[in-house]
Amino acid sequence: MKKILQDLGYERLVNLVQEFGEKKFRAEQLYKGLMLGKKISEINVSAALRAKLLEEYEDCPVRIIRTMRSSDGTEKYLFALADGNVIEGVLMKYKYGNTQCVSTQVGCRMGCKFCASTLGGLVRNLTSGEILSQVLTVNALAGGTVEKRAVTNIVLMGSGEPLDNYAQVTEFLRNVSASGGINISPRNISLSTCGIVPRIYSLADEGLSVNLTISLHQTTDEGRARTMPIAKKYSVSEILKACEYYFEKTGRRYIFEYSLIAGENCGKEHADGLIALLKGRPCHVNLIRLNEVKERNLNTVTEKEAYRFLGLLEKGGLSATLRRQIGNDVGGACGQLRASYLNEDTRGDKNDD
Ligand code: SAH
């Protein structure tokens, strides 16, 4: 695989262009083109520079090979990487702007029992430029520019565990929020983790101030370990301590994701457990009804049950919301679109492009 130009921030592009014996303004042209989601071959620089770049760098590291539109406006994308791997992403449309969900790894090795992304294990980490290119490509597709962005918010909730690809993910966060670039504010970016505690501390010290989201899904270590292997390594109380540290360092309220699974985590005792753990903390709970994954034997709850659980949390004094289910008709949760695409692939009826 060739190198990825989108891995480089503006300063490093300047160095590269000068190494090629070109003037500095070429780096500006190049950077501007990249931020507009263009391929190297489409950017208005000298033909000589383009040719030199294309010898070493991927023309288009992330290419949309399939788009699915939901009746509610949500769009799901399947992207092909230069090495033929595929990843997926979503663009959700809200009144206040558009939120893009990006992937940070091809597959995942965390092994959560309800999640489709981890079914085939981890294939590889994405580079910072491959993560950034997902945003640049979708922003361009949705008619956005650098001055007027179509993508206003980002959640790192696609395939992969962001804190298991720490260096590339933090580099991506710096580049996507760089003031001369697409410049999406860290306030509008949420990083979601299954709870890799030491990396939560590192992230707090990084000075990036993105929103931190923890996938909790249970109230006890034993309960959590039933569906999330990472719980055997880090306890809920260690996670809460790390969240406190994150709040001290960044001043940002943290969020807990809690996917409701029938018979697993949505009884009164679980609501009480959550209240005991979280009451008085500067946090919010996001409830999600499980998106059933056909390879997994777990069931979701009814809307009524979900609202009942929400009511218990609110009565207990927690700030909580039940996430509206969107885009259900276009491949559901995290990893499902890629998983179904890979299944098709083995049946030999792939017909994209
Ligand atoms: N690895 C990160 C981010 C990816 S998943 C993490 O664990 O947080 C984004 C969120 O979707 C997580 O809260 C994850 O637990 C949840 N999730 C995954 N599969 C799901 C499913 N089938 N139904 C509901 N939520 C799911």
**Residue 174: predicted pLDDT:** 98
On whether both 111 and 212 belong to a single domain, the answer is yes
78 Cβ contact partners less than 8 Å away, ≥ 6 residues apart: 64, 65, 66, 67, 86, 87, 88, 337, 338, 341, 352
- Tell me the CA–centroid distance for residue 334 and ligand 1, in Å: 6
* Total domains, the chain: 2
Residue 171 in contact with ligand 1 by CB distance below 6 A:
no
What does the alpha-carbon distance between residue 159 and residue 72 come to, in Å, rounded to a whole number? 22
pLDDT tops 70 at residue 97: yes
pLDDT, tens digit, 9 for 90 and up, residues 206-220: 999 999 999 999 999
State which residues form the domain around 296: 61-347
Is residue 290 helix, strand or coil?
A: coil
Q: Are 135 and 182 in contact (CB under 8 A)?
A: yes
- Residue 8: give its domain's CATH number: 1.10.150.530
Best residue among 334, 337, 338 to mutate for probing ligand 1's pocket (most ligand atoms within 8 Å of CB) is 334
On whether both 209 and 294 belong to a single domain, the answer is yes
Q: Model pTM greater than 0.85? A: yes
E-strand stretches of 216-272: 254-260
pLDDT, tens digit, 9 for 90 and up, residues 304-317: 999 999 999 999 99
Atom 21 of ligand 1, nearest CA residue? 291
On whether both 109 and 80 belong to a single domain, the answer is yes
pLDDT tops 80 at residue 343: no
Residue 151 in contact with ligand 1 by CB distance below 6 A:
no
- Tell me the CA–centroid distance for residue 107 and ligand 1, in Å: 13
On whether both 249 and 337 belong to a single domain, the answer is yes
Please indicate, yes or no, if residue 353 is contained in any of the structural domains: no
* 39: enclosing H helix or E strand: none
On whether both 22 and 130 belong to a single domain, the answer is no
The DSSP bridge pattern shows strands 97-101 and 105-107 to be unpaired
pLDDT tops 70 at residue 273: yes
Out of 75, 88, 171, 264, the active site residue is 88
Residue for token pair 């809307």: 303
- Tell me the CA–centroid distance for residue 114 and ligand 1, in Å: 8
Atom 15 of ligand 1, nearest CA residue? 215
Q: Are 216 and 257 in contact (CB under 8 A)?
A: yes
E-strand stretches of the chain: 62-69, 75-81, 86-94, 97-101, 105-107, 122-125, 153-156, 189-193, 211-215, 254-260, 283-289, 320-322
Residue 194 in contact with ligand 1 by CB distance below 6 A:
yes
Lowest average pLDDT, out of 23-32, 58-67, 259-268, 337-346, goes to 337-346
Rounded to an integer, the average pLDDT of 84-106 is: 94
Q: Give the atom of ligand 1 at the shortest distance from the alpha carbon of 257.
A: 13
**Domain boundary residue, one of 42, 60, 78:** 60
What does the alpha-carbon distance between residue 38 and residue 139 come to, in Å, rounded to a whole number? 11
From residue 41, give the alpha-carbon distance in Å to each of 20, 38, 59, 248, 336: 17, 8, 6, 46, 33
